[in-house]
């Protein structure tokens, strides 16, 4: 008997569903796009368990006729296109006619709908692609669809889903972008019993951004406008005060469709960096409108990647538009000054000291100035996004609290002074040393924090005045999902209602950094590894050490400089900050005399 068989329709439907329905967010996206194409003015989304067990979407769109309801659940049934010529002038969001068929093939679906031409609506229930029930019923204008038990009949798919919290975050991002691309529609979104956000639907993109990102972005958004008759660009880009450590806050739309295009993204970021400092990424929500015939949406299930006929021309248009926004707008960010509520400096005399020993396998040497350029040794524990708590504990095992053999690695030094409030000059018996005060203190804090975290001994202190932080809905979800994990790194954080949280306790070791900024940076690190806190913990500790360390420009006393050097001597690797930048260099007195030609 032959081995090749023709698959039955049920199996074919489930395979096809896998191309359209990858996760709960795919369902939400497809159904909301159908609601938008139906002319809805109000869309209400509710999910439970990250959309795995329950998704409900209600709209006030045109609805579906009684005779068309069953057809809507068939593959390649659509009202959006009628021939291949329509593929080159797509103006709707959905056009393949696979959404409902694919969704109902792997879930239990209930749909209630009514058109304005009918006094009664229709109810239909479909499970695994089979129509179970259909009847007339009373219903408001529009459509309500409920999707339950996603992948109930394909359990292998469930294994590849993230946690309900992470799946919910992905859904939130999808709805945010759909709201950004449809500011004339009011979106209301609930996750469980919590209202995540509600937009006004007043056709004002800035108001939509404020509803989602919070009012704190209001004064730091620059308007972008361009129109030459064939290409128009409008939207907002954040100034340097809203710059982020990742591209998670970038939304680009072409003809109201959320898309990705490397050329456009490069144009935006390159223009942004001509007016800002640092290597962070701009926040933006930008709309580009062009003739559909000059773009290719690839007729792909995700419909996210696009290409323009003339990418170089589009690059120049976008680049110039962003430059104009920065050139014609006040770009100095508003700064909110807050009272200090914790101790001034992490280098107080009574600061607890942890003595670190050197792992005998390591062979560190302070770089010698024997050539024209200073040499340095990179930190031998580099960040890996796959790092876990076990990796950190293994690293910590090499930083034993004994203090032995330290003297053989970095000699005792006498502080001479401070240069430019940035570098410490110190002398040993045979060499002169220059220490970068920020890099050195960052190394000290990193190793101490790593040790305390691995031993679960991080000490917290309660703030006299809690710090209230306003977040976007996505950021708020990440914090709330990780409240216990924040506690493990020394932060006492509580839900403060709306999109705000309250920081009530902070790690003692950190001193007094900008805690608002630090929380945003930690959120970004968690987002970078798909919401997995422990995969991001190493980089979180890097970030916390960097933000809390003495800064370039800080004036230090001789006593503070001596203490910093002594703490540095006790580190496992005193010669580089955790990122690998040099913390200390040396020049022998012999070399110094040669440079002054005292000796040949």
CA atoms within 13 A on the CB side of 126: 26
Stronger pLDDT, 334 or 114, i.e. the higher one: 114
Q: Which H or E run includes 440?
A: helix 437-454
Tokens matching residue 95: 């056009």
CA atoms within 13 A on the CB side of 529: 18
* Gap between the Cα atoms of 563 and 565, Å rounded: 5
Q: What is the mean pLDDT of the chain?
A: 80
Q: Which H or E run includes 357?
A: none
- Where in the chain are the domains? 9-200, 214-327, 459-548
Closest Cα partner for 188 from 336, 127, 179, 510?
179
- Coil, helix or strand for 568? helix
Beta strands at 257-258 and 295-296: parallel, antiparallel or unpaired: unpaired
Length of the chain counted residue by residue: 600
Model confidence pTM above 0.85: no
CATH class of the domain defined by 459-548? alpha beta
Contact criterion met (CB below 8 Å) for 161 and 148: no
Phi-psi region of 253 (alpha: psi -120 to 50; beta: other; left: phi over 0): beta
Closest Cα partner for 24 from 158, 216, 167?
167
Positive or negative CA dihedral for 81, 84, 86, 89? positive
Dump the DSSP string for 244-282.
Answer: BSSSTTEEEEETTEE-B-HHHHHHHHHHHHTT--SS-B-
52-71 pLDDT, tens digit each: 999 999 999 999 999 889 88
Closest Cα partner for 485 from 526, 545, 530?
526
For residue 207, pLDDT beyond 50: yes
- Coil, helix or strand for 28? helix
Closest Cα partner for 414 from 423, 424, 401?
424
Tokens matching residue 82: 């009628």
pLDDT band of residue 96 (cuts 50, 70, 90) is very low
User: Which architecture does CATH list for 214-327?
Assistant: 2-Layer Sandwich (3.30)
pLDDT band of residue 302 (cuts 50, 70, 90) is low
Dump the DSSP string for 361-409.
Answer: T----PPB--SSS------SS---TT--HHHHHHHHHTS-TT-TTGGGT
Rounded to an integer, the average pLDDT of 198-215 is 94
Rounded to an integer, the average pLDDT of 454-476 is 90
Question: What's the CA angle centered on 46, arms 43 and 48, to 5 degrees?
Answer: 165
Estimate to the nearest angstrom the gap between the alpha carbon of 568 and the chain centroid.
33
Dump the DSSP string for 474-498.
Answer: HHHHHHHHTHHHHHHTT-EEEE-ST
Residue 404 confidence (pLDDT) = 38
**pLDDT more than 90, % of the chain:** 46
Tokens matching residue 211: 């509803």
* Gap between the Cα atoms of 13 and 129, Å rounded: 8
Residue 9 confidence (pLDDT) = 59
- Coil, helix or strand for 211? helix
* Gap between the Cα atoms of 489 and 533, Å rounded: 11
Is the domain 9-200 a CATH 3.40.1160.10 member?
A: no
Contact criterion met (CB below 8 Å) for 345 and 511: yes
Residue 565 confidence (pLDDT) = 94
Residue 350 confidence (pLDDT) = 34
Of the segments 12-21, 77-86, 178-187, which one has the largest average pLDDT value? 178-187
- Coil, helix or strand for 142? strand
Residue 531 confidence (pLDDT) = 67
Residue 598 confidence (pLDDT) = 82
For residue 334, pLDDT beyond 80: no
Residue 19 confidence (pLDDT) = 53
């Amino acid at each position: 008997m032959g081995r090749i068989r023709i698959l039955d329709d049920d199996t074919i439907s489930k395979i096809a569903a896998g191309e359209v329905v990858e996760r709960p967010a795919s369902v939400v996206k497809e159904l909301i796009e159908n609601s938008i194409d139906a002319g809805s003015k109000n869309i209400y989304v509710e999910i439970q368990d990250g959309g795995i067990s329950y998704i409900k979407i209600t709209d006030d769109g045109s609805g579906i006729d009684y005779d068309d309801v069953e057809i809507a659940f068939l593959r390649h049934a659509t009202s959006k296109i009628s021939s291949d010529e329509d593929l080159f002038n797509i103006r709707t969001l959905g056009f393949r006619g696979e959404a409902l068929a694919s969704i109902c093939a792997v879930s239990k679906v209930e749909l209630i709908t009514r058109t304005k031409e009918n006094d009664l609506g229709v109810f239909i229930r479909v499970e695994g692609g089979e129509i179970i029930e259909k009847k007339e019923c009373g219903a408001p204008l529009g459509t309500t669809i409920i999707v339950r038990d996603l992948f109930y009949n394909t359990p292998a798919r469930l294994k590849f889903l993230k946690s309900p919290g992470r799946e919910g975050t992905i859904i939130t991002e999808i709805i945010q972008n759909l709201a950004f691309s449809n500011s004339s529609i009011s979106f209301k979104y609930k996750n469980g019993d919590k209202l995540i956000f509600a937009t006004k639907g007043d056709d004002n993109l800035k108001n939509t951004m404020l509803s989602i990102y919070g009012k704190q972005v209001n004064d730091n958004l620059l308007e972008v406008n361009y129109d030459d008759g064939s290409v128009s660009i409008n939207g907002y880009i954040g100034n340097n005060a809203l710059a982020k450590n990742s591209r998670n806050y970038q939304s680009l739309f072409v003809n109201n469709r959320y898309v990705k295009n490397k050329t456009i993204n490069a144009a935006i970021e390159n223009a942004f960096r001509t007016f800002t400092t640092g290597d962070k990424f701009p926040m933006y929500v930008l709309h580009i409108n062009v003739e559909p015939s000059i773009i290719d949406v690839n007729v792909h299930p995700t419909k996210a990647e696009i290409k323009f006929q003339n990418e170089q021309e589009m690059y120049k248009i976008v680049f110039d538009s962003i430059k104009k926004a920065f050139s014609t707008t006040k770009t100095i960010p508003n700064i909110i000054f807050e009272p200090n509520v914790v101790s001034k400096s992490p280098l107080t005399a009574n600061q607890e000291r942890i003595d670190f020993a050197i792992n005998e396998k390591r062979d560190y040497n302070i770089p010698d100035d024997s050539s024209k350029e200073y040499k340095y040794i990179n930190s031998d524990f580099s960040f890996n996004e796959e790092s876990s708590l076990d990796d950190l504990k293994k690293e910590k095992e090499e930083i034993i609290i004994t203090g032995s053999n330290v003297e053989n690695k970095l000699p005792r030094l006498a502080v001479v002074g401070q240069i430019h409030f940035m570098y410490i000059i110190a002398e040993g018996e045979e060499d002169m040393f220059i220490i970068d005060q920020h890099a050195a203190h960052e190394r000290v804090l990193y190793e101490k924090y790593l040790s305390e975290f691995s031993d679960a001994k991080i000490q917290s202190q309660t703030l006299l005045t809690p710090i209230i932080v306003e977040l976007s809905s996505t950021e708020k979800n990440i914090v709330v999902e990780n409240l216990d994990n924040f506690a493990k790194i020394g932060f006492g954080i509580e839900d403060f209602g709306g999109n705000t949280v309250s920081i009530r306790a902070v790690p003692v070791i950190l001193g007094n950094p900008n805690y608002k900024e630090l929380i945003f940076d930690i959120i970004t690190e968690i987002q970078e590894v798909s919401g997995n806190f422990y995969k991001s913990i190493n980089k979180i500790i890097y970030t916390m050490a960097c933000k809390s360390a003495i800064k370039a420009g800080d004036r230090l006393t001789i006593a503070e400089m001596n203490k910093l050097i002594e703490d540095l001597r006790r580190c496992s690797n005193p010669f580089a900050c955790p990122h690998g930048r040099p913390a200390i260099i040396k020049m022998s007195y012999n070399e110094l005399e040669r440079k002054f030609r005292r000796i040949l």
